[in-house]
């Protein structure tokens, strides 16, 4: 079964997105050899089932604690996974750093620019289309708690594909 890893920092809305995508078919587990738990579920995507994993929040791929270690191991154990990078739209630079790290490792990535309502209220304007053009991966604005953007997010998962980092540099150059 295809795997979709939900990754991002703590408190960006990964679990809300996870719950909305996976509905009720959820299994709580411990990662082998650890006590850090994570949640797995399933989602129907077209004709097939996709396994979704709510990975513990991590700041970067250089782990600073046990939960971050598990997050990085889960990524490393799933080389073929698609990674949904969930970013807080009001603090984009933090989330983008790890997203680029994940892209650099050759993963297919889709970005959820979550908390679009928070950014909007703070008058922070993030141009999802421009970010998408520069990075070359799907970028969708979402307000997970209200379900906004989630349909589009799901519909674009299959567009996620590995991107060569050099192409981003060329895109920035215009
Ligand atoms: N305003 C707003 N709140 C949101 C949104 N998405 C999630 N939240 C809230 O933000 C808080 C954190 O959401 P979680 O889904 O628990 O975050 P998480 O990324 O799973 O956090 P960790 O499990 O700690 O890594 C919760 O109180 C959510 O209800 C959003 O789009 N807008
Ligand atoms: Mg969570």
pLDDT in tens, 18-33: 999 998 666 778 878 7
What is the average pLDDT across 84-93? 96
Percent of the chain with pLDDT over 70: 98
Residue 25, pLDDT score: 66
Residue 68, pLDDT score: 94
If you measure from the C-alpha of residue 143 to the centroid of ligand 1, how many angstroms do you get, rounded to a whole number? 10
Q: Is 21 exposed, middle or buried (0-12, 13-18, 19+ CB in 10 A)?
A: buried
Closest residue by Cα to atom 24, ligand 1, is 10
If you measure from the C-alpha of residue 160 to the centroid of ligand 2, how many angstroms do you get, rounded to a whole number? 22
Q: Where are the alpha helices (DSSP H) in 23-161?
A: 66-76, 92-104, 116-121, 128-135, 150-155
Q: Report pLDDT digits (tens) over 50-84.
A: 999 999 999 999 999 999 999 999 999 999 999 99
What is the average pLDDT across 21-48? 83
Residue 61, pLDDT score: 95
Q: Average pLDDT, whole number, for the chain?
A: 93
Percent of the chain with pLDDT over 90: 83
Domain count, the chain: 1
**Cβ–Cβ < 8 Å for 134, 168:** yes
Residue 79, pLDDT score: 95
If you measure from the C-alpha of residue 56 to the centroid of ligand 2, how many angstroms do you get, rounded to a whole number? 6
Mutate to test the pocket of ligand 1, among 16, 58, 118 (most ligand atoms within 8 A of CB): 16
Q: What is the pTM of this model?
A: 0.95
Residue 110, pLDDT score: 98
Residue 174, pLDDT score: 59
CATH for 12? 3.40.50.300
Long-range contacts of 21-27 (CB under 8 A, 24+ apart): 21/52, 21/150, 21/154, 22/52
**Cβ–Cβ < 8 Å for 71, 90:** no
Residue 27, pLDDT score: 75
Domain that holds residue 81: 2-172
53 vs 173, more confident: 53
What is the average pLDDT across 134-152? 97
Cβ neighbours of residue 41 under 8 Å, at least 6 residues apart?
Answer: 18, 21, 22, 23, 25, 26, 27, 51, 52, 54
């Amino acid at each position: 079964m295809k795997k979709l890893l939900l990754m991002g920092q703590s408190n960006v809305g990964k679990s809300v997105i996870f719950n909305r995508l996976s509905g009720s078919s959820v299994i709580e587990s411990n990662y082998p050899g650890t006590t850090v738990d994570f949640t797995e579920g399933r989602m129907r995507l077209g004709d097939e089932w996709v396994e979704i994993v709510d990975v513990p929040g991590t700041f970067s791929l250089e782990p600073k604690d046990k939960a971050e270690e598990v997050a990085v191991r889960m990524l490393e154990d799933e080389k073929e996974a698609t990674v949904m990078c969930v970013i807080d739209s009001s603090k984009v630079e933090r989330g983008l750093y790890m997203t680029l790290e994940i892209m650099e490792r050759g993963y297919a990535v889709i970005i959820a620019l979550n908390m679009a309502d928070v950014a909007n209220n703070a008058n922070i304007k993030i141009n999802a289309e421009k970010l998408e053009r520069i990075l070359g991966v799907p970028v969708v604005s979402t307000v997970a708690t209200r379900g906004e953007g989630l349909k589009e997010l799901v519909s674009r998962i299959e567009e996620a594909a590995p991107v060569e980092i050099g192409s981003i540099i060329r895109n920035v150059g215009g």
